[in-house]
Each structure stands twice: as C-alpha cells, then as structure tokens.
Structure 1
Amino acid sequence: MLDSEIFTWVHQLVGWLLQPVTLALLLLVAVAVWDIGVACGERLGGLRRWRALPQEQVERRARKRLERCDLIARLGPILGLMGTLIPLGPGLAALGDGDIQVLSVAMRVAFDATVLGLLGGMGGFVLGRLRRRWYDELLDGMQREQEVGDESLAV
C-alpha cells in the first residue's frame, strides 16, 4: 500500500523542499537580525524623529513593522518544523538499512533547522512585543501633545 506511485512522488516532492526550506530559514534569520538593527536605531533616536510626522503616517509605519515582526515570529517555527521533519524520513529509512552515518547527518540537519526556526521566531516575538510598547508610548505622547495644543487654541 505505501509503495504506490503517489507516495513515491510525495516523497520526492518533500525531499526537494529541504533546500528551499533551509534557505528560507537562513533568510528569515537574516531578516530578523536586520530588523533588530532597525529597532535599535528606532530606540536610540529614530522614534523621536517620528514625532514630526503626521499621526497617520506613524501608525502606518508602525503597523508595517509590527506585521513584519509577527510574520517572522510565526514563520520561524513553521519553517523550523518543516526543516526538522523533512530529513527525518530519509534518516529513519537509513536506520532501517543500518546506515548510521546517514541517520546522524539527518538528525543534525533536523536539529539545526529546529534551532534556527526557534531563534528566528523568538527574535520576531520579542521584537514585536518591544515595538508594540514603544509605538503605543509614542502614539499616546503624540495624542497628548495634540490635545494640549487643541486646549491652548480653545483658550
């Protein structure tokens, strides 16, 4: 039953996915590291310059950056799990054939993919939480300044 053509095709398709998944993981971690650098720049003075912008533009920028953090936080573990499961099939098949070397390589790839996925997801999650707080504080401050300005015009 499990030797039918469709299972052979599925197995080949899944095997071809390992390299794109690994590249996507590396790209995701690189984007997370880059985004951490952007966030450091925001925290060290970039957000002060945002105060001169209209509130709608600040909200749009904040939403875009938070969406990127959320995407990193969600895709990291998904890609890590894919990168974990894909090499385990050939690794377990090699174990059945008694080839411990292939199994050890498959396990190493699987664990590396898991760690990369969790690292990227953790970076996106932490960065998203910090940014939410920073942007809320910024927008609250801008709103208070606008209310004070409106009150002084009314007097």
Structure 2
Amino acid sequence: MFSGISLGLMHQITSLLLQPVVWALLFFVALALYEVGISLGERWGGIARLSRRGGEHALLQAGKRRIERADFITRLAPMLGLMGTLIPLGPGLAALGEGELRVLTTAMTVAFDTTVIGLLAGMIGFVLGRLRRRWYDQALSELQYKGHSNG
C-alpha cells in the first residue's frame, strides 16, 4: 500500500524537525517576553511620544509593525507547539507497541511541554495584539480629533 522508502524518508524528515521546532518555540517565548517589555513602554508614554513627534504617519507605521509582530507570534507559536506535540508521538507510540514505557514517557513529556510552550507564547501574542490595536486606534482617534479641532 505505502512505499517503504517514502515512509522512511518522511519519518527521517519528521525526526529531524523536532530539535528546530523546540528551538523555535524557545525563540518565540523570548520574543513574546521582549514584546511584553516593548508594550509596557508603549502603554506608559511611548505611543503618546510617538504621536507627538511623528504624527499620524509615524503612529500608523509603528502600530502596524508592532501589531503584525504580535500576530506573527499568535499564529506561529501554537503551530510549532502542535508540531512539537505530534513529532514525538509517533516514536512514542511505536515504543509502546514494543513495551518500552520509558521511551513513551519521554515522548509524552516532550509532547505536552511543547504544547504548553506554544500556547503560552501564542496567548501572550494574542493579548499584546489586542491591546496594541486598542492603544493605537485610540491614539489615532485622538490625533484626528485634535486635527479637526485645530482645523
């Protein structure tokens, strides 16, 4: 039914992906924490300073860029978490069939850990994206209101 060569190749590629997925997840957690720091600065005066100095165009550009970064984290981190969940389950289930519970236990631990890390980073990105949208929309509304009041 299935070619042994194609299945073997697919298994090898999948096995090679686990380590990069784990490193990418750690990168996304670090990026999410970095973005939390930036957003604290935005909230406590950064957006207001940017709006005073750069005007509407600068505010739009910065807001778009920062919201896109948060959205990027929101979408990719959970996908990587799912990959990190599924990759070790194949060998883990195969080990269960051979009675090697220690291998299954390790595979399940990796699977759950990557799921949680991916969801954590995704949740941080989601919250940051929502907050940033609100903050930048409010700042733009205030700029436009001041522009109409002065004009």
**TM-score (ref. length: structure 1):** 0.94
Residue 2 of structure 1 deviates from its aligned partner by 4.5
Partners in 2 of 1:51 and 1:59 — Cα distance? 9
Partners in 2 of 1:29 and 1:114 — Cα distance? 12
Counterparts of 1:23-38 in structure 2, within 5 Å, are 23-38=23-38
> Which residue matches 2:14?
14
Structure 1 stretches of 4+ moved >2 Å: none
Counterparts of 1:58-137 in structure 2, within 5 Å, are 58-137=59-138
> What percent of counterpart residues are identical?
52
Change (3 A) 1:3 1:105: farther
Look up the equivalent residue of 1:104 and give its one-letter code: T
Partners in 1 of 2:3 and 2:64 — Cα distance? 49
Residue 44 of structure 1 deviates from its aligned partner by 1.1
> Which residue matches 1:139?
140
Contact 2:84 2:111 survives alignment (8 Å): yes
Look up the equivalent residue of 2:94 and give its one-letter code: A
**TM-score (ref. length: structure 2):** 0.97
Task: State which structure, 1 or 2, has the greater radius of gyration over its C-alpha atoms.
Answer: 1
> Which residue matches 1:5?
5
CA displacement 1:78-98 (0-9 Å, x = unmatched): 000000000000000100110
Partners in 1 of 2:11 and 2:89 — Cα distance? 12
Residue 61 of structure 1 deviates from its aligned partner by 0.6
Query: Structure 2: which 5+ residue stretches go unaligned?
Result: none
Count the aligned residue pairs.
Answer: 150
Query: Structure 1: which 5+ residue stretches go unaligned?
Result: 151-155
